[in-house]
Amino acid sequence: MGCARARRAKRATMPTDCAMLLIERRLRALFREQVVAIIRVAEAERALGLARALIAGGFRCVEVTMTVPGALDVIQTLCADAPEDVLIGAGTVTSAAEARRCIEVGAQFLVSPICETDIIRPSREAGVVAIPAGMTPTEIMHAWRLGAHVVKVFPAGAIGGPAFIRAVRGPLPDIPLWVSGAVQPCETQAYLAAGAQLVGLNAGALPNSLIESGDWAGLAAAARAMLDEARHPAKVMSPAS
């Protein structure tokens, strides 16, 4: 399950039973943690430092978006250095070529803002969790039928928040949903209560002054506080909220 182990096992394809087992383990880890930190910054060095601070602060699932300059190098370095219980994923994957490169450097889950078979298929073949996006019930079901392991609902905060997720879960109770986009840490429990399995939190919500100054110890403390806020029992939003 850990990154180093994943890198040793990484191949473009692997036996189907091995790939399925690896996916099941990674899904269990994701669903256990429920919260994923998303890194989208303008410099590779900052992305790497921020990821390490998030991990030190308690996050066990970290997504590095492909919009980060040198994202592949960041992912590869994190996969070599991160503790065994940490999952490192790639986000904003928008092509088959990007998907293959992310798999090659050890990413354990791939998140995409779109839904394409050419991204889902290589992920499944390599034992990597595939998380394409869907906004409407039709799009969510389409992604699921194409082989998604989880469907990303984005931007969740702009299309109805927890009330929307609750409504979608009515007719689609068996499709695991990841919510991200304008989601605040304090809203995490409301989304989970509404039926989401995973909540993506933008690490950019951490104090920018700490990121700019490279205060990684301060960022680790801030990350711990953000994770505590996300996990602390909160007053769940009503369907009308």
* Interacting residues of 44 by C-beta distance below 8 A, sequence separation 6+: 68, 69, 70, 71, 73, 74
If you average pLDDT over residues 52-60, what whole number do you get? 98
* Stretch 202-219: mean pLDDT: 93
Q: Residue 68's pLDDT is what? A: 98
Q: The sheet that has 129-131: what strands, in order across it?
A: 129-131, 109-111, 87-91, 61-65, 35-39, 198-202, 177-179, 151-153
Q: Which residues contact 112 (CB under 8 A, 6 or more apart)?
A: 91, 92, 93, 94, 119, 131, 132, 133, 152
Residue 173 tokens read as 């109770």
pLDDT of amino acid 15:
77
Could you tell me the residue ranges of all domains in the chain? 3-230
Annotation says 187 is catalytic: no
Phi-psi region of 206 (alpha: psi -120 to 50; beta: other; left: phi over 0): beta
Confidence of residue 14 (pLDDT cuts 50, 70, 90): confident
Give the pLDDT score at 11.
52
Model-level pTM? 0.90
Q: pLDDT tens for residues 127-147? A: 999 999 999 999 999 999 999
Q: How is residue 240 annotated by DSSP?
A: T
Task: Determine the Cα–Cα distance for residues 143 and 138; give it in Å rounded to an integer.
Answer: 9
Of these residues, 33, 63, 98, 187, which one is catalytic?
Answer: 63
Closest by alpha carbon to 9, among 107, 97, 87, 100?
Answer: 107
Quote the pLDDT of residue 233: 54
- How large is the average pLDDT for residues 175-198? 97
User: Could you tell me how many helices (H) and strands (E) the chain has, helices first?
Assistant: 11, 8
Please tell me what DSSP assigns to residue 205: G
Residue 45 catalytic? no
Q: Which is it for the CA torsion 142, 154, 95, 25, positive or negative?
A: negative
In the CATH scheme, what architecture does the domain 3-230 have? Alpha-Beta Barrel (3.20)
Structure tokens, 36: 């994923």
Distance in angstroms (rounded) separating the CA atoms of residues 18 and 135: 31
DSSP one-letter code for 87? E
The answer, yes or no, to whether residue 1 has pLDDT greater than 50, is: no
CA torsion 127→133→138→144, rounded to 10°?
10
Query: In 3-state terms, what secondary structure has residue 175?
Result: coil
Q: Kindly report, residue by residue over 84-98, the tens digit of the pLDDT.
A: 999 999 999 999 999
Q: Tell me which of 10, 33, 98, 152 is the catalytic residue.
A: 152
230 has pLDDT over 90: yes
